[in-house]
Amino acid sequence: MAVRKIVLEPNEVLHQVAEKVDRVTPRVKKLLTDMADTMYEADGVGLAAPQIGVLKRLIVVDVGDDHGLIELINPEVVSAEGEQFGPEGCLSIPGFRGDVRRAQTVTVKGLDRNGKRVTYTGTDLLARAFLHEIDHLNGVLYTSLAERVYEITDQEEENEEEAEA
């Protein structure tokens, strides 16, 4: 539908707690569609509503696995197990990465675009994406969790793109 402008750090909206969505309306559905369009246009694997300036508890995630696009309204972490440690980036903080510890496997629940209760369990990148996007809904950026934050070079970006192709 529409690609929205991504809010960049240090915009204050990124540090605020998003509000619960009370009802799934056509406007909420359009927002989810716009979020997915925006995420894909930016070559991201996840996007939270605050990243486009909307303080609502909505996330979209697509890590390129069998799940495809996951849209969650009012997502919550049900369980988290194990540990992974690795690089993380953010569409709201372009040009940087950080080494972050996250759970290896997470189960999340929420509502889909039709208001139906859904539950997903993800490991590896999907677990990381769920946790990263849900953190956004609570005003938390990966940079506050990272053991180290570093600027990525143009060569590193090219290598990442080649590895993803």
Q: In this structure, what CATH number is given to the domain that contains residue 127?
A: 3.90.45.10
Annotated catalytic residue: which of 133, 151, 156, 158? 133
Evaluate whether 109 touches 31 at the Cβ level (below 8 Å): no
**3 occurs within a structural domain:** no
Dihedral sign for Cα 9, 15, 19, 21, please.
positive
Q: Determine, yes or no, domain membership for 126.
A: yes
**90 known ligand binder:** yes
The answer as to whether 24 is a domain residue is yes
What digits encode the pLDDT tens for the residues 4-23? 999 999 999 999 999 999 99
For residue 84, tell me if it sits in a domain: yes
Whether residue 22 is contained in a domain is answered as: yes
Query: Is 15 within any annotated ligand binding site?
Result: no
Q: What pTM did the predictor assign? A: 0.92
Query: What pairs with residue 81 in β-bridges?
Result: 105
Domain region containing 117? 12-157
12 is catalytic: no
With respect to residue 77, please indicate whether it lies within any of the assigned structural domains: yes
Q: Based on the structure, what is the number of domains in the chain?
A: 1
132 is in an annotated binding site: yes
Q: What pLDDT digit, counting tens, does each position of 50-74 carry?
A: 999 999 999 999 999 999 999 999 9
